[in-house]
Structure formats: C-alpha cells, structure tokens
Structure 1
Amino acid sequence: MGKQLKVENCIQQCNMAEKNNNEFCEEDQQNLQILYEKFVILNKDLLRFGVSIVDLKKVCFRRKKLDNAVKERQKSVRYSGVIVAITIVGVVLISILLKIVFDSLMKTTLGTRCLLPNNYFIWEATRPVTDCNMCKDVKNILIFENITREEFRNYAYSSRPMLVKGAALHWPAMHTFTYNFFKEIYQKTEGAFESVEEECQILTFKTEFKSLEDVFSMPESRVLQKNSEKPWYVGWSNCHPEVLSIMREHYSIPHFLPEDAEHANMDYIFIGYEQGAVMHIDYISRLMWQAQLRGHKTWKLVPPPDCDHVCTGFSFRVEPGDIVLVDTRQWYHDTHIDAGELSLTVSSEYG
C-alpha cells in the first residue's frame, strides 16, 4: 500500500508539472487526464510484477525532460514565427525600395515627369489586353500624298500608322522654328519656364538637363554639335497661353483632320540629335500627330507583347514636311535621327 502511494505521489508531481504549463489547451488537459488514469493502472500492475520505485521515478524524470523539450520546441516555433515576420517585412521594404529605384531609372532613362507616370510599371502591369485587330496584317506605314479631309475620314480614328507626305511644307514653322527661336520666347515670357515645370512636362531623355532653363543655357558649340560636343535630345509640352499663341502663328492643325475633331490645349516640341526616344508607349488620352520640320527621323514600331503571335513590327523614315499619325498608346515606338542632323518636330493630340 505504501509503495502504491509513493507511485501515485510521483505521478501527481508529474501531473502538477503538466498543470503548470499554461501552453496546454483544454483538450490537451482532458487527454492528459485519460493518460494519467491509464498510467496509474499501469503502475499498479508494474508494482505487482516487482518493478521498483526507483525505476518508476526514472520514468517521471524522463517525463520532466520531455516537458522541457516541449517548451524548447515551443520557443523554437515562436522564434521561427519572428523570423517569418521579419522576412515578410523585409520583402515589403525591398519591394518599396525597388519601386523607388525603378521609378528613378525610368525617369533617368526616358527623362519624363508626366508622360510616364510615377506608377509606370503598375500602368504596364494593368494595361488592358490589346485587341490584336489593331495591328493584324499591318506590315508597313500607310502613306498618303495630297489627301483631303473627306478621303482621310475613314482612317482618322484608326490605330493604323500613317504618313502624310509634305503636309507641313507650307507652314512658316518649317523655316522659323529653331533652337534660338524657342530660347528667345521662353526667356522673354514671364512665367514660361515655370509653366513647363509646374503645369506641363519636360522630357530630358538621356541628357543631364534638369529643366528647360538648363536646355537653353547650353553653349553654342554644343547646340550646333561642334568640337565633338555631347549629343542632346529633349522634348517638352507648351501650355503657357502666351507661348502657345506665338507658336501657333507659325503652323496650323493638319488640314486633313476631321473638322469636328477635338484638339489638345497644349502642343509638344522635340528637338535634338542622334537617338530620340527609347522604346516605349505613351500614356496620353488621344491619338497623336507629329510634323517633322527639320532633319530626318526613323521610327521603329513594335506591337504590344500580347499581339506578338499575330502582328509584326516595322520601321519607316520621315522627311522634313511630313506628318506622322501613330496611336502611340498601343504601338511601342522609338526614334533615331540621321547622323549629324538636327531634328525638330511639333506634335499634338486629337480625338
């Protein structure tokens, strides 16, 4: 009888150790009670078969060691949870950092503040799937000469790339628009530089320029590409009323566009040498036309990635006086200027 009491005391000590462990849930306690009752019966049987108290204590001590092992395991699990949490936070922070780096890279490479928005990669990732009919069977630029408004009506709002030869040859801008022409306008018009920075956009592409004011501060040798000066190419939009009014005295809306078409209240100037814009699409609201006033430029058009299996890309060359019409919202494009030539274009949107 005394041996049985000692055994029960030993078991109760083990049970007390279990109860002190707050990590066990109610279901575990119930299971433990069932195990305890079976353990008591087992110990009684063992005592009847001559098992000593010392042997039973060893069993109890082993259980305590098991408890400690369980606690260590629980600590390890909690530690692993902390590691996982830190990893998740790290991934989020790295993602934010990569977005900042990506935006900075896009701004440096394409030199744009508004044409490509800050969330450019989100725009691209969420870009609607393209209807590949817009480029299916299109193998080259569609060329017109002396086209009338009536003849152009069927093409006006299509995504088919088009080139109207010589449509701007009669514009005074063919002769009056130069680097110095724009430099003088902006320097003498109050608020003109600020309007580009605050209301419009400046595209500095691969140059080191930070503003339009920097562009018009170049030494003459670089403007004219003398003495092996570094090439430059920039673009900007004009939304200052006075500047825009002066500019539009030298050109007009292309004569073949629909009479009821809506036109943007700002126009774009692109000027410079060698490589123009790198491959991209434009996030603008309307179709685009661009008049080549000086120099020769080669365009390369590539269909959207989701239409690679249906459509093919192609290139075409533009001469002074030509007007290009491309849906740059869908056609990826880049431009290259003939070596040694200054390219100057004016463009706008319609819809």
Structure 2
Amino acid sequence: MSVLPDPGATRAVLIGTSHYDHLESLPAVSNNLTALAEALTGPTSWTLPQEHCTILSNPTTAEMTMAAVRAAAEQARDTVLIYFAGHGLVDPEGDLYLAMPQSKQRRVETGLPYRWIRQALLNGRADRCVVVLDCCYSGLALGTMGGPSDLADQAAVEGTFLLAAAAETRQALAPPDETCTAFTGELLDTLQTGIPNGPELIDFGALYRHLRIRLAAKGRPDPQARDRNTGARLALGRNLACLPTTATTPSADGEPATARSWPSPSGIRTVRGFFKSLADVRVTSGLTHQMVSQRSGGRISPGTVSRLLNRESLPKTWHTTAAFLSACGVPDQQVAEWYAVWTRLLTDTTTDAAPHTVPHPRQHQKPTTLQRLTGRLSRRNGRSRDHRSGSS
C-alpha cells in the first residue's frame, strides 16, 4: 500500500549547482530547486514545514553540503530525501562524484563523492531514504547532460528508492528554452497534473514508470530506478488526475458507493503528520467542509471542520475528530486506529511538556519563622530611619 510520509518526521535536502568555474553552467538548475521546494512544501505533496526543506544552491564546499545531509539523516525518523541537480563526474576509478562550482574533470577532490552521501544515509535514523539524481558525468556544452547506463548501480543505497535521470550513454538534454532541466521538469509536471488513470497516490514506482513513458515519447533518455525494501511504495504526492471533484454517492449504510483507499494513520509519528493525514482524508472523501457538516448530522459545523484541519496543537478531546472521520466515510475500524494514534500523541505531548512546567507559588502560604523575623527587622530599620529623618 502506498503511503505519504509524516511531514513532521521527514527532511529534504535539495542540492543544485548551476554556476561553474571550469564546467559549462546549467542555469535551469536554480529553477529546479525553487520549484521542487514549492512542491514538497505544498498541500498536494509532503506539506513539509519550510524548516524541514533545506536548499543548497551552488554550495561552495563538499563539507557544507555534507553537514546538511548528515543533519537531515539524523533528524528524520520517517523519510529523508536527497536531491542533486548539476553535473555528475566520474573519477579515474569510475566512481560518481557530484560537481561543485569549482569542480574539474577527473579531480574528485574538487567535488563531492557520492559514496559520502550514501554512507551518511546508511548511518541515519530515517525509516526510508530517497535519492533523486538529475546530473551529468562530463562537462558538456550548455544545456546538455549525460551519463553511462550503470548510474544506478554506482549510486545504489540500501533501503531507499533511487531515481536517476541519466541511464544511457547518449546525451540528456536540458533545453535552454525550458524553465527546468528535462528530467526534473517532467517530474514536476507529473506532480502538477497527475497521472491519468493512475493510482490515488503517486508513489515512486508509479512515478518512475510514468517518467519513462513521457521522456521516451519526447525522444529523451530513459530514467533509471532502484528499489530497496519497498521504497517504491513511498508516495511523493496525491494524483491530481484522479482526485474526486465531488463526493461519491453514499450507499444505504452511509458509506460511499465507490470504495476508496483511505489514508492510513499507522505511519503517523507527529502532530503535524496527524493533521496532514486528516486533511488527506477529506481530499480522499471528495467532500467539502459544508458536506462533511451535513453528513455529521449537525454534530460539527463547516467552521469546526476548517478549524480542525488547520490546527497546530492536538485536540484535548476526541469527539470532534471522531465525528469528522465518520462523516467523511472512514470505516469504524480505521476510526479506532485513529483514536489509538491520537491517544499516543496526546500522551507524548503531555509527557514532553511536563519537564518544562514551572510550579506557581501558593498564594496563601504561611511565612516561615525566618521570613517573619526578617520582616520584623526590616520594619524596625524603617521606623529608625523615619525617626532620624524627622529629628534632623
């Protein structure tokens, strides 16, 4: 079953080099970074918080790039995504290294060896790792990128999904009249328009198959992919080509006549992920806020639905969330699973907040003996000063 990651426990690092001192520049790469960041933080993809999506445009050193990669791999609990666009080069031993602004051909010390990124991901704590490489192997004329057929074999990462733009020895164009590079542009277009007759969620397996068809139809090189440990089931976004525009007609028992795959609460780790999945439930149902209210029998108003889906803190009571899920058509068994997740998150939130609670002093606490003596002495000293002041 395809799943979207929990945005609160997910990190992304988008790396791109568009300007080079010794290689041909790729100005479209900077557009790649901006557009992909907007997609990942948008409502139909991962809805990542801005601080969870790091953009490194023209990083000057491999050290600063690896610091961001290691931080993301360490902080992520659900998914970590590493994206690179720019020139990809091959060292004398045949290993891949990613070109930085000052990189040179066959000078691996001027770039970033891919194996460093691979090792950082293997040492991280995320359940899933995604690597997307939109790069070349040599310094070609402006607007061209290429690479040999064994790119995925060189860049394989255990427990991840690897998606690579260059899979053949032929050149892969980054047309100067297009905003983004050919591969990333096609990826972004898929997220923006969807896959006709495709799945409800665009997982990486479906994305890879769609990209191969689309790029081949345009005479561009086929991308390459490698799936380890079911990484292909991780979704990059909702399929906008198959989202319901209106609610499905309910059957006699109140359930939608056409069964849909409801977002599973099993992968929720954070409060942010809880509300992201709740929003996905409404999208899956095809119901407006008004229709959810009507199906709840008036238990929740359209305004309550809106406030619930736009909260940042977990509700202290369960009844509003339960009414929302039931009104959307979520089966009772899954509503019970949602309740278990809500209970766990509420417990975790309360536990995390407890050490920071500062007890307030009691308003009517009796003074101690020392406090009474100190007070008497202060009053005596005050009367003595007043007496001396009056006699002068």
Range of TM-score over shorter length: under 0.3
Query: TM-score, length-normalised on structure 1?
Result: 0.21
- Higher CA-based Rg: 1
Query: TM-score, length-normalised on structure 2?
Result: 0.19
Higher RCO, Cα 8 Å, sep 6+:
1
